[in-house]
Structure 1
Amino acid sequence: MLALLHTSPRHVPVFDALRDADHPGLELRHLVDEELLSRARAEGPEAVAGDVRAALRRAAGLGARAVLCTCSTIGQVAEAAAAGIGVPVLRVDRPMASAAVALGPRIVVLATVESTFGPTVALIEEEALRAGHSVAVGARLVPGAWERFETGDAEGHLRLVSAAADAVTDADAIVLAQASMTPAQHLTTTTIPVLSSPRPGLAAGAEAAGGPGPVLHPGE
């Protein structure tokens, strides 16, 4: 069983759908705590370290063989809190960061909340160092998108995100920093690769949990 730590209930159907498409038979257990993101945005990610550790312990106690943190703002905190939990703890955006580094040195990170930039940029730089590459990472906020997401205006949220991606001209890769931005990946018209985290992140989580291998779709 793979446990997923979310900071929004809207992520639950996204990962269930990916599981059904790519990892049928993988048992998921969703743990949702919206307060973690609210506090991390207001006080900084380290402020919720104790609560994140408690959530990870709870997941392990429920029988999870691995935990996937789907929130990019607290992903770094979740990885750091893994010691003593007894199961692997992964952040959903690490595979995406690795893929971005492989595409080239100019990487633009798009986010709808500013608290995401620090952890995401640090992660990309960490993956670049691990790969022996030099990167220049730019961070661009999508104004108004988060407010639309919070009020349930999914169409408006994704329209703003896709427009921001299409406005990028000086990058080798565009990173959508938050899982909630993922559907905009398919609305963009830019020729620059646009990367999102849920699919590769779930694949890494499934592997860590010892779940069934991924289904290969035509053309992949």
Structure 2
Amino acid sequence: MTGTAIAMLHTVPALAAPLAELAAEVRPGARVLHFVDESLLQDTIAHGGPPPHVLRRVVSYASYAEESGAGTLLVTCSSIGEAAELARSFTRLPVLRIDEPMAEEAVRSGARVGVLATLATTLGPTTRAVQRAAVRQEAEREVVPYLCEGAFEALRSGDPARHDRLVLDGFRELSGEVDVVVLAQASMARIVAEAAQGHDAPGVPVLSSPRSGVAQLAGTSARTGG
């Protein structure tokens, strides 16, 4: 039987705490279960995209979540977002992508959508997510991808300041070409406040996935049991 708990699948351990705080805002009192598996991202990077065994493991995590009393599994890594979508066909538990609401909002925000990423394996999936959102909304949109070379490696090596600097440099360059900028990874949300100050690109919205992605949980039906 499924329950009222929320399950989250992370590939970056540091995201667990801030996303749990956001979940408490939209589902006060709900129990949050965290599954952390860095190898899902590592294997996706190594293969240039999610290999079949990553999909199988996402399905397994959905099963674990359901058995543990969760009513929803939120996949918080955009690099494996397309595996999350495929997993929906193999599990009864609702599987959500953290970046889907962001993609929908980006399409509503302008004709030229910039996608900023620090990983090539995230740039492609997020770009395609925006393109699919445009199709759903029957809107013609041009998507402009931009890869911040070296930023992910800086964050992974323990240099968040360099990560933020490289992401901001990318934002400044990309924002001059588009109507809205999408931050492809939840880990990039740290620079939203600075980027949104508008000193470099007045009026260009900056969208990140954590808040809108977690907000989906407010609309999930809390089913009894567990």
TM-score (norm 2): 0.88
Partner SS state of residue 65, structure 1: strand
Maintained 8 Å contact 1:26/1:206: no
Deviation at 1:204, TM superposition (A): 0.3
RMSD: 1.6
The 2-side partners of 1:24 and 1:58 are apart by 23
Letter in 2 for 1:32: V
Q: Which amino acid aligns with 1:9?
A: P
Aligned equivalent of 1:201, options 190, 198, 213? 213
Residues 78-114 of structure 1 deviation map (CA, whole Å, 9 limit, x = unaligned): 1211224222111000000000000112011010010
- Residue from 131, 138, 157 that aligns with 2:163: 157
Identify unmatched segments of 5+ residues in structure 2: none
**In 1, are the aligned partners of 2:8 and 2:32 still within 8 Å (CA)?**
yes
Question: Aligned partners of 1:84 and 1:164: how far apart in 2?
Answer: 38
Measured after TM superposition, the shift of residue 13 of structure 1 is 1.5
Find the counterpart in structure 2 of residue 12 from structure 1: 16
Partner of 2:51: 46
Partner of 2:63: 57
Report the residue type matching 2:194 in the other structure: L
Q: Which consecutive residues of structure 1, in runs of 5 or more, have no partner in the other structure?
A: 212-220
Instruction: Decide which moves more: 73-82 or 148-157.
Output: 148-157
Q: State the TM-score, normalizing by the size of structure 1.
A: 0.90
Q: Which residue of 2 aligns with 1:218?
A: none
Q: 1:22 to 1:63 in 2, by over 3 A?
A: closer
1:167 aligns with 2:187: no
Please tell me whether the aligned partners of residues 92 and 198 of structure 1 are also in contact (alpha carbons under 8 angstroms): yes
Alignment of 1:61-210 (within 5 A): 61-168=67-174, 169-188=176-195, 189=198, 190-191=201-202, 192-210=204-222
TM superposition shift of 1:151: 1.6
Q: Percent of counterpart pairs with the same letter?
A: 39
Distance 1:185 1:126 in 2: 24
SS at match of 2:34: strand
